[in-house]
Each structure stands twice: as structure tokens, then as C-alpha cells.
Amino acid sequence: MIRQFFKEYSVWYLTYILLSILFIVIFALYRLPLAYFKVSILINLTILIFISIWQYLKFKQKLSILHHFIYVKELDELELPSELAYKDIIIKLKETSANELLNEKTQTENLQNLVKMWSHQMKVPISALSLMAQTDQLDSNEVQQQLTRLQNYLDTLLTYLKFSQNKDDFRFEKLSVRDVTTKIIKKYRIPCLLKNLSVEVVGDWELSSDRKWLSFAISQIIDNAVKYSKTDGTIIISISDGNIVISDDGIGILEEDLPRLFDEGFTGFNGHEHQKATGLGLYMTKQVLDTLNLNITIDSQIDKGTQVEISSHKN
């Protein structure tokens, strides 16, 4: 630290040395008594030593404040204009650092809560599979249905993590919305069969979008339609140039829940009644569709069904 101090205030000591040399020259030219020179040098040196000690203590304290960067109130001891400028910068950096730490803490807590909720959700199909194995009543359709649930829960969590970390993973191409939708429906063949659901797909839409992310969004909507449809129900998927409408005649959604459906972690009354849900599906669907420059709206009535529309921003 002493070396840093001398480096910081080297101008002082160079000035003192130059002035001392100048005094010697003046005393020599005018043949002045050297005793006066020695006295003046001694006085100046004494003053310099005291000032140096005082300045060193202040320098040490300021450097300690900057190094430890703990309490903002300690910065009040900085007085010079340049130091006040540093003070403003330090306070802003500290506020930024505190906000970043708070955001990281919030994200960590949200992720912990999500994983806890997700683990509870995963227990439902796992318990069902375990019960079937213990009672030797393994039905291939039931097993496939539980596996589909597990796969969907896992896909949702992984998609959430991937999307929150990297929102640039998009590859746009010209695609058929009907083809994308048909492939998704095949994945839900067994759940539809077990509930005797009829699924109709009409029309098509040639859209420039990312196949993987669009598939995820549509899959979440179809999953909800299948999950909340009544036995012997019907799901109609109408596709036209500019929009997709997915309608079911299921249990419906409470009117007061509609404005919050896309909030992170919101499950609504039906979500609680049906099973323990993470509230991630529609939230992620909204986030993905926003990135794909698509709108989503939901209209629903209790015991009459739900209609979800995905449309282009052009409309």
C-alpha cells in the first residue's frame, strides 16, 4: 500500500526534489549562507512528512473503502470532486449488483418451487404405473397414457429452462400448420381413445415459423383440451390462413380466471381440481407465441367448453 501511495502522490515528492535543487542553485548563485538553505529544507521536509502521514492515512482509508465496497455510508468520507464522481459510480454499481443478486435469488427460489411442484406432478403417473405393476393389471393403453403425461411434463420443464436461458434458439421455415397439428394429435392418440374423444382437423395455413417451438405451443393447448374434455367429447381444430382455433366441449374455465391464465404459476380452479399443476403450460405457450410474433386468446364458459385462438399479428 505504501508503494501505491507514493505512486499516487509522486508529483509531490518530485516537486519537492526539484524545488530543493532550485534552492541550491539560487543559494550558490547569490552566495547565500548554507545555514539558511539547511533550515528552509528542514522546515519544508518536516511539513512534507506531516502532510504525507496525514494524506497516507486518508489514502489508506479510502482505498479500504473501495476494496471492501461494503457500506455506502462510508463513501460520505470522500470529499474531492473526482472522489465524488467515483462515489456516484460506486453507488450505481452497488445498486446494480444488489438488483442482480435479488433477481438471481428470485429466479432460484422460483426454480426451486417449480421443481418441487413438478416433482409432485410427476408422482401422479408414476404412482399409477406402480399400482398397475403391483396389481398385475398392466393395460397397454393406460401405460401409454401415463407415459405420455410423463413425457409432456418433462418436455414442459425442459422447455421452460431452455427458453429462460436462451431465447435465440429459433429456426424459421415455411411449414404447414396442419402437418404440425396432425403429428401432435398422434401423440395423444391413446388419451383420446381412453376418453373416447373425437378430434377433427380442418383447413391449413402455410406459415413461416419455428417448427419445434410452434409444436410446443400447440401441443400445450391440445394437451389441455384432452385433459379437461369430458368423456365422449369432441375437439375441433379449425385452421385457416392467419389463425388456428382449437375448440373443446369440456369443463370450461371460470370467467374470473381468464385474465390470469398466462401468468407464471397460475393454475386456476380447474387446475387445482384436476390435479397438482405447475401453471407453466399456458405461461410458456404465451411466451413462445409472443416470440413467434403470434397472438393467443382464450374464451371459455363453465360446462360448455373452451376455445383457444392463435392468430397472426396481421389480423
- Give start and end residues of each alpha helix (H) in 135-251: 140-165, 177-187, 189-194, 211-228
Return phi, psi of residue 251, to 5°: -75, -15
Tell me which residue of 254, 264, 306, 305 sits closest to 287, measured CA to CA. Answer: 264
> What is residue 167's DSSP assignment?
S
Could you give the domains of the chain?
140-312 (3.30.565.10)
Contact criterion met (CB below 8 Å) for 248 and 305: yes
pLDDT-flagged residues of the chain (< 50): 271-273, 275-276, 315
DSSP 30: T
Residue 291 has, within 13 A of its CA and on its CB side, a CA count of 21
- Enter the DSSP assignment of 110: H
- Alpha carbon of 52 to those of 47, 49, 65, 292: distances in Å? 8, 5, 20, 65
- The cell numbers describing 176, all together, are 404447414
Task: Name the helix (H) or strand (E) containing 308.
Answer: strand 305-312
Residue 65's CB: how many other CB atoms inside 10 A? 19
Q: What is the total residue count of the chain?
A: 315
Q: Which residues, 6 or more positions from 148, have their beta carbon under 8 angstroms from its beta carbon?
A: 187, 188, 190, 191
Buried b vs exposed e over 50-60: b needs ≥16 C-beta within 10 Å?
Answer: eebeeebeebe
Q: pTM of the prediction?
A: 0.62
Which residue's entry shows cell 417451438? 213
Per-residue pLDDT reduced to its tens digit, 276-315: 455 678 888 998 999 999 999 999 999 899 999 999 975 4
Give me the sign of the Cα torsion angle 65, 69, 73, 79: positive
Q: Cell 374464451: give the residue.
A: 299
